[in-house]
Amino acid sequence: MKRAAAVLVVGLWALGVGAGSPGGAWPSEKVDPAVLREAEAGSAEFLVLMKEQADLSAARTLRTKEEKGRFVVERLRETAERSQGPLLAELAGLGAEVRPFWIANMVWVRGGLDALSAAASRAEVDRIVPNPHVGARLPEEEAAGREPLAVEWGVSRVNAPYAWGLGYTGRGVVVAGQDTGYQWNHPALRPHYRGWNGTTADHDFNWHDAIHSGGGSCGADSLVPCDDHGHGTHTMGTMVGDDGGSNQIGVAPGAVWIGCRNMDRGNGTPATYTECFQWFLAPTDLDGENADPSLAPDVINNSWGCPYSEGCTYPDILKAVVESARAAGIVVVASAGNSGSSCGSVADPPAIYDAAFSVGNTTGTDAIATSSSRGPVTVDGSNRLKPDVTAPGTSVRSSYPTSTYATLSGTSMAGPHVAGVVALLLSARPDLKGDVDAVEFLLASTADPKTSTQTCGGVPGSSIPNNTFGHGIVDAQRLFTLDSDGDGSGNLADCAPADGSAYSAPSEARNLTLSWAGTTVLSWQAPSAPGGTEVVYDLLRSADPADFSAAVCVASGTAALTASDGDAPSGVAYYLVRSRNACGASLGTRSDGAPRSAPSCP
């Protein structure tokens, strides 16, 4: 079977429209200077970002990951197909080569100055940025390989064997990676590949190649998972690898994996990264057909960054892409980068985004690696604290082509440990699939806290979280016992909201809705951060939306996510839900940001 690359070469015969751009003169301020220089030299490859982006906010009200995935994909595709039409028609008239994307509303284009002018002249176009081919800075194999351990040191450090002892190995969870590719039949990877049934392999819906030219030893548009570098095979091994013998290299050996190649011999572009994310949201067969959001992974590992030199001259170039994946209920793990040790060195997408769970690199002594990038994120002006957490990433032994093992170092090696711990959690708590807020909260709040002497962005290294270690080193034992203070068990001594511990007051209940079934019925969703102990709810009614200080308790201490108000007054009434547990309560905040207050309910 030969897969057709997702590229359209469009010309006058295709759509029958005239060439030229509306309005004559075109606004070059929309265009990155590098794109203009390349187009003036003859031909340019660039990305056209549309102003309209799909509104995915309603996905938060949906209860399951499958529901979120279907909604997000449908909304994204509808927005792109509707808004890109006129642009594609005009580019068709100019014979430009295009590849439309829907995960973010943008179009890859290869064309001359006329195509660039046409795109820039359109009112619906926001900006035009480059898509250059520049080699990534990937870690190299270390000269002295380590001997295999019964369980590799990083796997032990995140306490994965504790979860295994409870029977949770990642079973029922799908992990994904986009990287240099994967040697799918590596002895430590083949048993865990979703496309392997023990006898034969089926790569439909389990593998995608975003490299459409070149491709090194793998060639372009490879129909089987292939790795032309080694980096990808190594990262997947840390997530799920186990050969059934002496090579227990993976954190979640019970999980299954799927993959996408986003780099050509270490060379990625914003377009290839975007294409892999898009495929993960709705995996297709090898012909690029029959997209199915129900086959999307639960977590995606991204052991790569898109620096300025690779075309990410606009910091938000992949922001909508990552946010779409999160809206679909997929945890996006991203390596923080290897540009440390200075403050503000977490500087490349996707690690800079709030929607990504970013990971720094620790050594065998729990020290931060010198090269591990530090926060805060300054490149987009957010001053966002990063990384979110840290994990083992120094001298990590894992799978490598061809059917061998190698030792590498970097945040690329740290991220897969975290993706593996996500898989362990979801195998124990499948009800959390699709609830990215809750998953990230639990991993961060139960991380082993670490401090530093380095103050970055005004945040002392002595505080938790900080811009060196984030919340600390991910720890499956702390996660599974909800033990934030490290005393060996989860208990109310772990109530410590100041450091974000797992045993803390819950966050506010979500998505309160009202319906009528002979009486007024209120429904809501549980907090994204339940705080580690049983949550109950109070339903409060007030005549004043800004003042609940004298509210009526309609329901008190209910564990249900619904309650009826048989005494609802005529006219207008306002409702709030208070979530509470043994550590505290939350009513949310007013529009001015101040916390709400209301009387206690019996």
pLDDT tens-digit readout, 312-366: 889 999 999 999 999 999 999 999 999 999 999 999 999 999 999 999 999 999 9
pLDDT at 571: 80
Q: Using an 8 Å Cβ cutoff, are 86 and 313 in contact? A: no
Inform me whether the pLDDT recorded for 459 exceeds 70.
Answer: yes
Q: Residue 398 catalytic? A: no
Q: What is the mean pLDDT of residues 528-556?
A: 86
pLDDT at 24: 45
For β-strands 97-101 and 106-111, DSSP reports them as: antiparallel
CA gap 190, 196 in Å, rounded: 7
* Cα 37 → chain centroid: 34
Residues ≥6 apart with Cβ < 8 Å to 600 = none
Inform me whether the pLDDT recorded for 485 exceeds 90.
Answer: no
- CATH 2.60.40.10 region(s) of the chain? 510-586
Amino acid at 528: S
What is the assigned CATH class of domain 510-586?
mainly beta
CA gap 339, 410 in Å, rounded: 10
Which own/partner pairs from 440-444 qualify as long-range (CB within 8 Å, at least 24 positions apart)?
Answer: 440/331, 440/357, 440/388, 441/528, 441/529, 442/479, 442/482, 442/502, 443/357, 443/389, 443/418, 443/474, 443/479, 444/388, 444/389, 444/470, 444/471, 444/500
Q: Residue 366 catalytic? A: no
Q: Using an 8 Å Cβ cutoff, are 448 and 421 in contact? A: no
Q: Of the ranges 127-131, 189-193, 478-482, which one carries the lowest mean pLDDT score?
A: 478-482
Mean pLDDT of the residues in the chain: 89
pLDDT at 330: 98
Which pLDDT band, with edges at 50, 70 and 90, does 530 fall under? confident
Q: What is the mean pLDDT of residues 367-378?
A: 98
Q: What is the mean pLDDT of residues 444-453?
A: 93
Which pLDDT band, with edges at 50, 70 and 90, does 223 fall under? very high
Residues ≥6 apart with Cβ < 8 Å to 224 = 184, 201, 203, 207
The token duo for 83 is 């808004």
Q: What is the mean pLDDT of residues 71-89?
A: 97
CATH number for region 153-499? 3.40.50.200
Inform me whether the pLDDT recorded for 136 exceeds 50.
Answer: yes
Inform me whether the pLDDT recorded for 229 exceeds 90.
Answer: yes
Inform me whether the pLDDT recorded for 122 exceeds 60.
Answer: yes
User: Higher model confidence: residue 587 or residue 517?
Assistant: 587
Q: What is the mean pLDDT of residues 140-154?
A: 72
Q: What is the mean pLDDT of residues 235-248?
A: 96
CA gap 302, 273 in Å, rounded: 9
Length of the chain in terms of residues written: 602
N-term to C-term CA, the chain: 68
Inform me whether the pLDDT recorded for 445 exceeds 90.
Answer: no
For β-strands 207-209 and 256-261, DSSP reports them as: parallel
Which of 222, 303, 339, 412 does the annotation list as catalytic? 412
Which pLDDT band, with edges at 50, 70 and 90, does 145 fall under? low
Exposed e or buried b for every residue in 132-160, given b needs 16+ CB within 10 A? Answer: bebebbbbeeeeeeeeeeebbebbbbbbb
Which of 231, 234, 417, 471 does the annotation list as catalytic? 231
CA gap 473, 489 in Å, rounded: 18
- CATH 3.40.50.200 region(s) of the chain? 153-499
Q: Residue 186 catalytic? A: no
Query: Phi and psi for 224 in degrees, rounded to 5?
Result: -130, 150
* For the chain, percent of residues with pLDDT exceeding 90: 70
Inform me whether the pLDDT recorded for 176 exceeds 70.
Answer: yes
- Looking at the DSSP bridge assignments, the partners of residue 50 are 125
Inform me whether the pLDDT recorded for 222 exceeds 50.
Answer: yes
Which of 32, 179, 243, 565 does the annotation list as catalytic? 179
User: Higher model confidence: residue 110 or residue 5?
Assistant: 110
pLDDT at 203: 98
Amino acid at 303: S
Inform me whether the pLDDT recorded for 515 exceeds 50.
Answer: yes
The token duo for 259 is 């993959």
Q: Of the ranges 262-266, 416-420, 433-437, 563-567, which one carries the lowest mean pLDDT score?
A: 563-567
Q: What is the mean pLDDT of residues 526-542?
A: 84
Q: What is the mean pLDDT of residues 376-389?
A: 97
pLDDT at 137: 65
pLDDT single digits (tens) 269-319: 999 999 999 999 999 999 999 999 999 999 999 999 998 877 788 999 999
The token duo for 529 is 């951060």
Q: Of the ranges 362-371, 422-431, 565-574, which one carries the lowest mean pLDDT score?
A: 565-574
